[in-house]
Chain A
C-alpha cells in the first residue's frame, strides 16, 4: 500500500471513529462516572502546566513587544497586544499543544497498552463497546476541559503580561487593564472557545485512533504514543490557520 493510500485510509478510519463515538454518546449506558474521572485527569491534572505556560507566555509577550511598541510611542497599548494575542491565538494553540503532549500521549499509551494486553478484546468479549466506554468519555472530557483550561491560560497570561508591564516597564496598572479590556470583544472569546473545542476533538480522536490501532507489542505502544502527539500537534497548528480564517469571515474578527 503506498503512502497516499495509507494516509487516506487513516483519515477515513479516524473520521469513522469520531462518527461512532458521537453516535454512541447518546446511547445508554452513558458512563457518566468515566466522563467525570476523565475530566479530573485531563482538567485538574493539566492545570499546573497550563497555568505555567499561560503565565510565562503572557510575560514574554510583554517583554518582547514593549520595545517595539515604545519605538512607535504606543507602549500604552501593550495590554491590548497581550490580551488579543492570548485570547485569539496563543491561549488556544499553546493549551492545545500542551494537552496534546500530556493528555494525547497518555490516551494513546493507555489504549495501546490495553490493545496489546488484550484488554480491549476482553472488553468486547464481555459485551462492552470500547468506543462507548473509552473513546466517547475522553472526547467529552477533552471538549469540556480544554476550553476551560484555555480560559485560565488566557487569564493567567494577561496577569503575566500585567506583572512584566507594571514591574519592569513602569506602565500603570490602570492603563494596562483599560487597554487589555478595550482590545477584547465577545467574538474574541467565542472564537477562542470554538478553537479550543475543535483542538480538543482533534487531539482526542487522533490519540484514541492511534491507541486503538496499536500493533506490535510494547514497541507498538511507544510508536502509537509518538504518532499521537506528533499528529495531534501538527493537525492543531494546521487547523488553527483554517479555523482562524473561517472565524474572520463568520464573526468578522479581523
Chain B
C-alpha cells in the first residue's frame, strides 16, 4: 500500500476500511497503517490453564487482542468468561501458561507490581460495582483522588467522562438512587478515567432492558472507533454481538457522533468473536463465520434454544 493511500485514510476512524475490501486485505491494511508498536498485542494469553480444586475453569487457552480491536467473549454461564477478565487484571493467577498485557508478561507479578499494570486497564463490572458509600462524582473521581490529582483537574475529568456516558446530571447522586443502566454507565465512566487504552467489559448489559443494553454497546463502539481502545467484551447475549459487529461510530460534518451500519460506507475488521465452552475456546473468528459455523452448540447458542 502506498503512503498516499495511508494519508487518504488518516481521517477515518482506526480499524475501519472501505467496503468491498476482502478480509485478508483489510487485515494487512490494519497492520500496515500502524506503527511497529501497534503490532504488540494489547492482551495475549498463551496456553493459560486454571483450576479451582478439581474443576478445570480454563484449559490451555490462547488468544490475542490486537491494539484497537474489540474481542467479544461469548459463552454460557460457567464457561470461564469472567475468569478470563480477572486473570488479565491479576485478580486471579493462572496455574500454567503466560499472560501478557501490552507486551509485558504479568503472570508472576506481585500485587504491588500489578497496581501499575492496572492503571493501563479500565474495568466495567457486571453490576457496575460502584462504591455504595461514595457519590457518583467520587466514584468516577476515585482513581484520580487516589493519585492525589488537584481537585480542579479531577472535576474537569469527571464531568468530561460523565458527559461521555450522558450522565452529567447525576453527578451528585448516590449509587442507590440510580437505575441499573445508569449504574453501568457510571461504571463505564469510572473505568475510563485516566484514559486507559485497554477496557474490559464483564457482562455490562446483563439484566438490562434492550434500549439500555444498546446504549451500553454504543459506548463500547464509541471507545473502539473514536478512542482507539482495545477491549474485551464478555457477554452471553447475541444482541450485543449484533450491535458490536454491525455498527460503527463516526463523527459527521456537524461534529456529531453518529452510528452507521457496516457496509454503508465502511466495513468492520476490528471486532472478533471468541466462544468459550467448559473453559476451552470452541470458536474464534468473525461474526459472519460464527453464523456459518456448523457446531451444534454454537448454532443452539445463536438461535437461543
CB distance from A87 to the nearest CB of B (A): 37
Nearest residue, chain B, Cβ from A31:
B146
8 Å CB interface, A13-57 against B: 29
Partner of B125, one of A113, A121, A129: A121
Is B142 in contact with A118, judged by CB distance below 8 angstroms?
no
* B131 beta carbon closer than 8 Å to chain A: yes
Is B125 in contact with A122, judged by CB distance below 8 angstroms?
yes
A118 and B129 in contact, given A125-B121, A126-B190, A129-B111 (Cβ under 8 angstroms): yes
Nearest residue, chain A, Cβ from B53:
A1
Partner of A118, one of B112, B118, B125, B143: B125
A121 and B91 in contact, given A126-B118, A126-B190, A129-B111 (Cβ under 8 angstroms): yes
Is B119 in contact with A127, judged by CB distance below 8 angstroms?
yes
* B215 beta carbon closer than 8 Å to chain A: no
A124 and B91 in contact, given A118-B127, A119-B132 (Cβ under 8 angstroms): yes
| Contact size range, A | 10 to 19
* B148 beta carbon closer than 8 Å to chain A: yes
8 Å CB interface, B73-100 against A: 86, 89, 91
CB distance from A138 to the nearest CB of B (A): 14
A128 and B146 in contact, given A121-B86, A121-B91, A122-B123 (Cβ under 8 angstroms): yes
| Contact size range, B | 20 to 34
Is B148 in contact with A29, judged by CB distance below 8 angstroms?
yes
Nearest residue, chain A, Cβ from B121:
A125
A89-119 interface mask toward B, CB cutoff 8 Å, 1 = contact, 0 = none? Answer: 0000000000000000000000001000111
Nearest residue, chain A, Cβ from B115:
A127
**Complex: A121 Cα to B131 Cα, angstroms:** 11
B139-162 interface mask toward A, CB cutoff 8 Å, 1 = contact, 0 = none? Answer: 000110010100000000000000
Q: Which residues of B contact A117 (CB under 8 A)?
A: 127, 129, 132
Is B129 in contact with A129, judged by CB distance below 8 angstroms?
no
* B126 beta carbon closer than 8 Å to chain A: yes
Partner of B143, one of A29, A124, A127, A129: A127
Q: Which residues of B contact A126 (CB under 8 A)?
A: 118, 123, 142-143, 146, 190
Is A122 in contact with B118, judged by CB distance below 8 angstroms?
no
CB distance from B239 to the nearest CB of A (A): 23
Q: Which residues of A contact B148 (CB under 8 A)?
A: 29
CB distance from A220 to the nearest CB of B (A): 16
**Complex: A125 Cα to B118 Cα, angstroms:** 6
Q: Which residues of A contact B129 (CB under 8 A)?
A: 117-119, 121-122
**Complex: A119 Cα to B142 Cα, angstroms:** 12
**Complex: A129 Cα to B127 Cα, angstroms:** 21
**Complex: A126 Cα to B189 Cα, angstroms:** 12
Is A125 in contact with B123, judged by CB distance below 8 angstroms?
yes
Is A127 in contact with B127, judged by CB distance below 8 angstroms?
no
Q: Which residues of A contact B143 (CB under 8 A)?
A: 126-127
Q: Which residues of B contact A129 (CB under 8 A)?
A: 111-112, 115
**Complex: A124 Cα to B91 Cα, angstroms:** 8
CB distance from B197 to the nearest CB of A (A): 15
Q: Which residues of B contact A29 (CB under 8 A)?
A: 146, 148
CB distance from A158 to the nearest CB of B (A): 38
Q: Which residues of A contact B118 (CB under 8 A)?
A: 124-127
B57-75 interface mask toward A, CB cutoff 8 Å, 1 = contact, 0 = none? Answer: 0000000000000000000
Q: Which residues of A contact B116 (CB under 8 A)?
A: 127
Q: Which residues of A contact B142 (CB under 8 A)?
A: 126, 128
**Complex: A129 Cα to B132 Cα, angstroms:** 18
Q: Which residues of B contact A127 (CB under 8 A)?
A: 115-116, 118-119, 143, 146
CB distance from B139 to the nearest CB of A (A): 9
**Complex: A117 Cα to B132 Cα, angstroms:** 10
CB distance from B101 to the nearest CB of A (A): 13
Nearest residue, chain A, Cβ from B147:
A127
Q: Which residues of B contact A121 (CB under 8 A)?
A: 86, 89, 91, 125, 129
Q: Which residues of A contact B125 (CB under 8 A)?
A: 118, 121-122
Q: For A117, A123, A126, A127, which residue has the most chain B Cβ atoms within 10 angstroms?
A: A126
B27-45 interface mask toward A, CB cutoff 8 Å, 1 = contact, 0 = none? Answer: 0000000000000000000
B interface vs A, CB < 8 Å?
86, 89, 91, 111-112, 115-116, 118-119, 121, 123, 125-127, 129-132, 142-143, 146, 148, 190
Top 6 A-B pairs ranked by shortest CB distance?
Answer: A122-B129, A118-B129, A125-B123, A118-B125, A127-B115, A127-B118
* 12 contacts across the A-B interface (CB closer than 8 A): A29-B146, A118-B126, A121-B86, A121-B91, A121-B129, A122-B125, A125-B91, A126-B142, A126-B143, A127-B146, A128-B146, A129-B111
